[in-house]
Structure formats: C-alpha cells, structure tokens
Amino acid sequence: MNPNPHPCLTCGACCGTFRVSFYWAEPVPEEYTEKLNDFRACMKHEPDPERPRCIALGGVMGEAVACKIYESRPTPCRDFTASFENGEPNPRCDQARARYGLPPLTPQSWNA
C-alpha cells in the first residue's frame, strides 16, 4: 500500500490555471458555474486576477487540496490526467505545476 497521497491531493495547480468549460446540461452544481452562451457553461473562479482558481477547489495549493464537487465535477476535469498518472507525460499538467513553482511529476511520483 502506498503511504503517500495521490499527487493531485498535494497540488491543485490545474484548478488554478485552466478555465473549465463544458456543455451546460452536465450535472454540475449550478452555484459553481456561470453561463458562457446558450450551449456552454464554465466553472466560476475566485476573483484574484494574479492567482485565479476554481471555486470548487478547497485547501492550500501545493500543500493539500480537494475538489468540493469531485463526484459531480465536469467532463474536462474528469478527463484531465496528471503527468504519468497513466504512464504518459501531460505537458498541460507540467505547465500548471510550473506556474505554482511545483516540479513536474515523474513516473516515480506514482511509486513513492
């Protein structure tokens, strides 16, 4: 059994880097979303222009985080994989982590 937490539970950088937009009818709690147009919605973000982050992210980025709506998160969040989570690098994950001064994940990040 791995005593270390999933690397995403000590990161959260993707939630503070990328805007998440999705089809408006996905079952995401409405209070966490805003309308983009007649077909698309997006996750709301904290109003800090320097470090915007999804309002569904709880905790301290880079230390301990969790999604408040994990079970009902939108498809783009479900589809996003951390680098090497499935054995392949994800440059978008690396980009988000770098923005917050976190090192990129490696295959060893999943075996530690």
Mean pLDDT of the 15-31 span: 95
Helix locations, the chain, DSSP H: 75-79, 91-99
Domain boundaries, the chain: 7-110
Query: CA–CA distance from 94 to each of 29, 47, 86, 102 (Å)?
Result: 28, 24, 15, 9
| Helix or strand (DSSP H, E) at 41 | strand 40-43
Residue entry with tokens 């999933």? 6
Look up the pTM and report it.
Answer: 0.88
- Identify the three-state secondary structure at position 53: coil
Cα separation, 7 vs 27, in Å, equals: 26
pLDDT at 47: 83
**Per-residue pLDDT tens over the stretch 76-108:** 999 999 999 999 999 999 999 999 999 999 999
Closest by CA position to 19, among listed 68, 74, 67: 74
Q: Which has more confidence, 9 or 52?
A: 9
